[in-house]
Structure 1
């Protein structure tokens, strides 16, 4: 047993070292002055940034088959916006982890780059800083090559982290993970089929969604559509928003964690290596992030010791430049963050009033990977229900430990 354990640990070490060598590392968090919020506790905060760019981490176009699967346009679509922002809070005492989703259109004060201090959508700090750094490097006579590109990306990361940290008010960012759209798709490929649950059938020609109601298994292409949907083009009365998309993303992560636990993937070294191999080519992380430790923490979260909350907004509005934005109450946001990061106790999670665990339309068994639903299927009543946490909208905390049904 000792020899087997030693061999397994050695295998993990070799595999981690090989994968670690292919991941882009950034030193932007090594300078304590890079953040306005100092490190005040032993808890760990990891900022997840999902980029809107249809390019790889090296700035080069992705393979055409990936663009076809993404259903999101080609290399010229999108920009350097952090369209997905999630703060993962892992308490040092081993209590429940919390994930805070930061709506991408929240109108905030930018920070962390020359000329910052103006108001913009929180997702845009990355792109503004990247463009400013590229301009400065060109003026300084630096060749427009891979080195200059990565310097500009680091400027974007630094600004996004500074802007988010300042907005939240009490969150020191210990680590970051930046993912491209390709990274998400490739991870989904490695772990598919993936179980998800929807409250009702829905279709969206923009994202490629065509799902039935209830519990079902989806492939990697459908997973991309699942987390990108923000409208229903078949029913004008079924309204979606970016906040509903945030809830979809949370539900997807919870479902994947549950599935990985059920399948024993996190304890299966070859399977986990396949997942890491898929991720490594299309992500960037800070130089201090320990991947093995992160995997160990992820393993504990698969048991349900995690909850997801979206920051509150006060409404939808327009910026002076005519952009659609989320209006926010800064004091309310910071109070929410404080209560989530430093709760007075750690009670057993219960479904919230806005998220009753009583009205799921999920069938008792998993369906095959979802196929385009016929009109008859879309209008048919759901099969006999089985108890499953059901969330009607984006408010309240979504709890881990199963496969939740969402809008």
Structure 2
């Protein structure tokens, strides 16, 4: 009998040990779960420790813990990814603004106080210049091999006043005819594009400021070599010409924007062509697909920053702030127009554009007052339409 009781006791001890080991699940204790002692008569392991499916109550809690850990891990990875993208974007932002070429000494000096325009009421105004250089080498941008200006060697083939309003709602681009007959300080009456040829950026800015009484805050210059490279870097542009769709590479686009002799309105249609091209190019550069391919994005940004030169008052921080403040502006938010003109004429054997001495000052006043939106609602303007010649 003693041996039998001893055997039963040993068997019971083995069973209890097995139950304790099984209750541990082979994975160590769970801090939030109480330890169940099978020898405690107050605990009924068969009813409380095991459900009808044979799953320990600790297992669902462990499953929830694992799910929580997975979600937290995923959120952490997402946060790291966002920071990496933001870091890369900021690096590109910082890197490429620092690569833009700066031109020193572009603003006029020794200008009489009476000829100095007052600061505008709001926003900023840029003078955008396309240079027709007579050089086989680039004259603007990071890869310039020739000077951006040399007396008599270059003329400003394209001139646009670009006003960015203080509310960052869009942009207003006003083309100044290259053949506009104007007063050029120290030279008398002549075509506007002669100012750059005779005195480079300072004389051109002085001439434009005296003409419009609008202060030029910054200057941006691109020559035709940079124009062609930038056009080719985005794969060319698609334009509607005389009702037909045309795809143009850099060389073809340059011919398109410079044509004027076979256009019905001559220089006025020519400036609209330039505006139409610029709007189309901006729309293509700003497409999400342009930057979805890192290699392509790098090529476009390299060509863009390599083609353009700006004044040295526009520092890297200023350029970054400019881009950030106007990040919501799209090509559809930009209004293109020609400066008011009465028509064309012949002076001293030259075909010239005669600016409107009444409508012009009204436009320039609206630009100075940062009130171009109201001006457009109450005045007729020669605005860029859906298509151009």
- TM-score, length-scaled by structure 2: 0.66
Distance 1:25 1:340, change over 3 A: closer
Residue 338 of structure 1, aligned match among 365, 370, 374: 365
C-alpha separation between the residues in 1 aligned to 2:276 and 2:205? 24
C-alpha separation between the residues in 1 aligned to 2:370 and 2:96? 38
- Which secondary structure does the structure 2 equivalent of 1:314 belong to? strand
CA positional deviation for 1:120: 0.8
CA positional deviation for 1:176: 0.3
Contact 1:197–1:405 (Cα < 8 Å) also in 2: yes
| Contiguous gaps of at least 5 residues in structure 1 | 62-77, 130-155, 201-212, 233-237, 354-394
Q: Which residue is 1:325 aligned to?
A: 352
Distance 1:266 1:27, change over 3 A: farther
Is 2:172 the counterpart of 1:186?
no
1:8-407 equivalences in 2 (<5 Å)? 8-17=89-98, 19-20=99-100, 23-29=101-107, 36-55=116-135, 56-57=138-139, 58=144, 60=146, 79-111=153-185, 116=186, 118-129=188-199, 156-169=200-213, 171-198=214-241, 200=242, 213-232=243-262, 239-265=264-290, 271-289=296-314, 290-296=318-324, 299-320=327-348, 322-340=349-367, 342=369, 346=373, 396-398=382-384, 404-407=386-389
Work out which of the two has the higher radius of gyration on C-alpha atoms and give 1 or 2: 2
CA positional deviation for 1:40: 3.3
- Which secondary structure does the structure 1 equivalent of 2:359 belong to? helix
Distance 1:11 1:335, change over 3 A: closer
Deviations 1:221-270, CA, capped at 9 Å, x for gaps? 221122112133xxxxx635111110000111111222233344368765
Contact 1:100–1:310 (Cα < 8 Å) also in 2: yes
CA positional deviation for 1:26: 1.7
Distance 1:3 1:192, change over 3 A: closer
- Which secondary structure does the structure 2 equivalent of 1:330 belong to? coil
Contact 1:15–1:273 (Cα < 8 Å) also in 2: no
Distance 1:127 1:347, change over 3 A: closer
| Contiguous gaps of at least 5 residues in structure 2 | 1-81
Deviations 1:275-299, CA, capped at 9 Å, x for gaps? 3422444433101224434444664
Distance 1:176 1:343, change over 3 A: closer
Aligned pair count reads 293
Contact 1:314–1:329 (Cα < 8 Å) also in 2: yes
Contact 1:257–1:301 (Cα < 8 Å) also in 2: no
CA positional deviation for 1:337: 2.2
Distance 1:288 1:30, change over 3 A: farther
Deviations 1:133-176, CA, capped at 9 Å, x for gaps? xxxxxxxxxxxxxxxxxxxxxxx11000010111112x110100
Contact 1:29–1:174 (Cα < 8 Å) also in 2: no
Deviations 1:175-223, CA, capped at 9 Å, x for gaps? 001111111111111112312112x2xxxxxxxxxxxx33332222221
Deviations 1:284-338, CA, capped at 9 Å, x for gaps? 3101224434444664332511101101222222233x22211223343222222
